[in-house]
């Protein structure tokens, strides 16, 4: 999952958030969606957010190192 492009990760994150919303809506309408699916979706969302944040931090570190190297 770590090798997937950022655009694809963000699209997947949007899809998972939509699916989570739909499951919550189904639960509110008493349609009994699978409780295990909630956990699975939340776990996938957390993994994607972690990857995106790691990449963001790596980019900031590289930027700081580049700035300190030229100074």
User: Domain for residue 1, yes or no?
Assistant: no
User: Domain for residue 24, yes or no?
Assistant: yes
Per-residue pLDDT band at 32 (split at 50, 70, 90): confident
* Residue numbers of the domain that contains 13: 6-70
pLDDT digits (tens, 9 = 90+) for 2-22: 578 999 999 999 999 999 999
Number of domains the chain contains: 1
User: Domain for residue 14, yes or no?
Assistant: yes
pTM of structure: 0.84
Nearest to 6 by CA among 46, 49, 52: 52
How many other CB atoms are found less than 10 A from the CB of residue 12? 16
Residue with the larger pLDDT of the pair 34 and 71? 34
CATH number for the domain harbouring residue 62: 1.10.287
Q: What is the pLDDT of residue 47?
A: 97
Axis-axis angle for helices 35-70, 6-28 (nearest 10): 150
Q: What is the pLDDT of residue 22?
A: 95
């Amino acid at each position: 999952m770590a090798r997937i492009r950022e655009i694809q990760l963000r699209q997947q994150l949007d899809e998972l958030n939509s699916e989570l919303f739909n499951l919550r809506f189904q639960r509110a309408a008493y349609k009994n969606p699978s409780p295990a699916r909630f956990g699975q979706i939340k776990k996938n969302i957390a993994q994607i957010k972690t990857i995106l944040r790691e990449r963001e931090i790596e980019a900031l570190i590289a930027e700081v190192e580049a700035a300190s190297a030229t100074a």
